Structure formats: structure tokens, C-alpha cells
Structure 1
Amino acid sequence: MNSSLPNDEKNNAPQSMNGPQIVPAAIPSSSDSDSSKGVAGPSSPYVVGVPPQQAMVPTWSTGLFECFNDIPTFIITAFAPCVTFGQIAEMVDRGQNSCGLYAMLHAGILYFTGCGCLLSAYYRIKMSHLYKLPDDPLINILVHLICEPCALCQEYRELQARGFNMKLGVGWRNQSPEIQQTGGVMVPPKVPGGMTH
């Protein structure tokens, strides 16, 4: 094979043409590393050059502005946010009170103060803690202050994605036993049978 490399460079060039050749880096001796200063050496428990394993970042199952994916819920929430809030609060509180009681509480606060969004923001924060969703209280409050109907629709869709039957009138007591036991926390599905040869 003819090459344009000079003779000196031909001798130093790798002989393999199958791809790049990996040259091992020099490992510092134990005298070169000082574990008290945090320098990784041969006896260090840390692996140099390998990024740490990153946990999955929690996210909502749907976006904030995907309201039009569920038009009936969006219409109910736009004209009567207390109804959607009541359904969400009943599921988040695991049936401690009824949907109707939460809806009346939200409607009363909304009627007398105009700040029903603060109550619904509190339940968004509570839901974020419960399901390990993005948990910035300031952001959750701002989302409800700026666009409460979109926030309520997103929470409603999140509960549906977690297996809750969110139809009006179903409530916590009529949820499946699996949902009542796990509280809607997603668990990995069980594989039937097992491995066969």
C-alpha cells in the first residue's frame, strides 16, 4: 500500500487498519495519589472518567397545555373548576372526604376571596410529594395562579394515567382494590409465568 507518510511516521503509525487504536492511560502509582485530598488513585473507591449513574428525573405524564386532548374535562374545568378540583383532592387525600365537600370548599373560597387557586395549588404540591413529581412549590403555586384550569386538567390526566377511574361519581371508594392499596403509585407490571427454555 502506497502512503504519503514519511519513513519516520510510517514506523510510528499503528499497524491495524480496523479502526482507531486505544492507548491505555498511565495509572498513577500509590505514591502519586493522595486519597485525603480527594484524588482518585488505584486504591480509591471512585472510578475515574465514568459519570455517576443518574436517577430518572420525575415528570408529569402529560404536558401542562395538553388540555385539548380531553375536551370534556377541559370544558368542565373551565366553567366549574371546583368540580375537577373536588375529584383530584378526593384521590390525593385517599377518600378522607368526598368530592362534593372539596368542591364546595373550593367554590366557597373562590366566591368569597377569589383565591380558590391557592387551595388547588396546595393540593398540587401535595400530589407532587405523593407521586414524586417535579416539586418546586413556587412553580406549582404560579402555575395555579396563572392558569388554574390547565393545571387542574394536568393533575386530572396524571391521576388517570396512574390508573384512577376519574369519572364523576366514582370516587375513592369505588376504585379498584389495587389502586386503593397502592394509592395510584405506578408499580412495574408482573410478568406472568417466568422464563422458559
Structure 2
Amino acid sequence: MNSSSPKDNKDKAPQPTNDAQPATAAPPSTASESDSGKAEKGPSSQQPSEQPVVPVPPQLVMYPTWSTGLFECCDDIPTLLITCFAPCVTFGQVAEMVDRGQNSCGLYAMLHAGILYLTGCGCLLSAYYRIKMTQLYNLPNDPLINILVHLICEPCALCQEYRELQARGFNMKLGVGWRNQSLEIQQTGGLMVAPKVPGGMTR
């Protein structure tokens, strides 16, 4: 009968090795703390310098407008008299400039007079050229209003268009026509016009 002594049992017992040593908890890393600390200190250390805010003044909006009013006909009495008794003449002068000399003033005047004599609606032709003029020079362009202006008071409308072309540098005297206009007017078509200064200089 074999009996093992306590001494032999002690020798056979497994000895703990270095690999089986109990793992010890690693100390908490301080990298995250340092990063968070930097993140917290960053905004405070890099505060933007306070600069005074300068308000931007509102920009002036220039609305298109006629150089003269509709009822300022008395500023040019000769043109007013011609337009009252022979509107076809003033219309012919305006239409020739608007069409850049495609046809003569006499042809436009005869066309207006013929429509006025046959139908009595020569104002519709002149209203069409008023609409064409407003589109060309970026003037207030409301077709209904432009037609009503010529239906109600065609002489005032024609005189206003006549004065507008004069303000843009056209020589509107009878017999001058498009071909005898200055070279600058023929090149630009009167698109450039000096702004109208309200009021005058007072002492």
C-alpha cells in the first residue's frame, strides 16, 4: 500500500509562475485630463479682441424717373403750341429719335396723321412709342398707364417725351433729324444722361 507523505504532496503541488501573477489595475491615464484641460483653457486664452462695430449707412436707391413732369408743358411754349395744333409733328420728331433714324420725321408724322384722320386713334401709335421709349431708357414702364396718358392727354405726353430727349442731349429742332445729331449721341443713343440735381444753390 502506497501512501504519500505530506512532504511529497507539497512537492507535487503546482507552483505559481510569473505569468499567472494577478493583474494590477493600471493607474488612470492623465492624457485625457491634460487634453481636456487644454480644451477648457483654449477659448479663454484665445478670446477675440473686441473691435467697435461700425454701422453701414443705407445705400440710396435711385429709382428711374422722367427728367421733367407730365404737366410741365409750359416750360417750352413753342413745342406746346405745335403739339396742340399738330401732334403728328412732335410725334414724328420723337419717333425718329427712338427708332435711331430708321425712318424720317416726315414719314412718322404722315403715319400718325393718317391714323388720326381715318380712325381718330393716333394716340395708340404714340402710346406704343412711349412704351418703347420707357424700355429703352429704363423709365417707369407701366403699359396701361402709358396708354391712358396718351388717351387722356396726348399733347402733355408728347411734350414730356420731347423734353426727355432734349435732356438726354438730342437736338430736337425741326429739320435736324437723327443724321445731324452729334457723334456722341449717335453712338450712345442718349442712354447716358447727367443726374438731375434737386433744387439750386442758395446763399
TM-score (ref. length: structure 2)? 0.67
1:96 matched residue in structure 2: 102
CA apart distance, 1:55: 3.1
Aligned match of 1:163: 169
Q: CA separation of 1:59/1:79 partners in 2, compared to 1, >3 Å: closer, same or farther?
A: same
1:53, distance to aligned residue in structure 2 (A): 4.2
* Equivalent AA in structure 2 for residue 183 of structure 1: G
Residue matched to 2:90: 84
Q: CA RMSD in A?
A: 1.9
- Look up the match of 2:51: none
| Deviation, structure 1 residue 50 | 7.0
Residue matched to 2:149: 143
The reply on whether 1:67 has 2:73 as its aligned counterpart is yes
**What residue number does 2:136 align with?**
130
Distance 1:74 1:66 in 2: 10
Q: In structure 1, how many angstroms separate the alpha carbons of the residues matched to 2:56 and 2:190?
A: 36
Are the equivalent residues in 1 in contact too, given 2:134–2:140 (CA < 8 A)? yes
Aligned-partner Cα distance in 2 for 1:132–1:177 = 22
TM norm structure 1: 0.68
Unmatched runs of 5 consecutive residues or more in structure 2: 1-54, 196-203
Question: In structure 2, how many angstroms separate the alpha carbons of the residues matched to 1:50 and 1:160?
Answer: 38
Aligned length: 142
Give 3-state SS (helix, strand or coil) of 2:140's partner: coil
Of 62, 67, 88, 1:56 maps to 62
What runs of 5+ residues in structure 1 fail to find an aligned partner?
Answer: 1-48, 190-197
1:36-55 matched pairs, under 5 angstroms: 53=59, 55=61
- Say which one has the larger Rg: 2
Counterpart in the other structure of 1:174: 180
Query: Percent identity of the aligned residues?
Result: 87
Mapped partners of 1:50, 1:147: distance in 2: 45
- Partners of 2:92 and 2:185 lie apart in 1 by 18
Q: Is the 8 A contact 2:71 2:156 kept in 1?
A: yes
Distance 1:61 1:166 in 2: 16
Helix, strand or coil at the partner of 2:153: helix
Tell me which stretches of 4 or more aligned residues in structure 1 moved more than 4 Å: 49-54
Aligned with 1:135: secondary structure?
A: coil
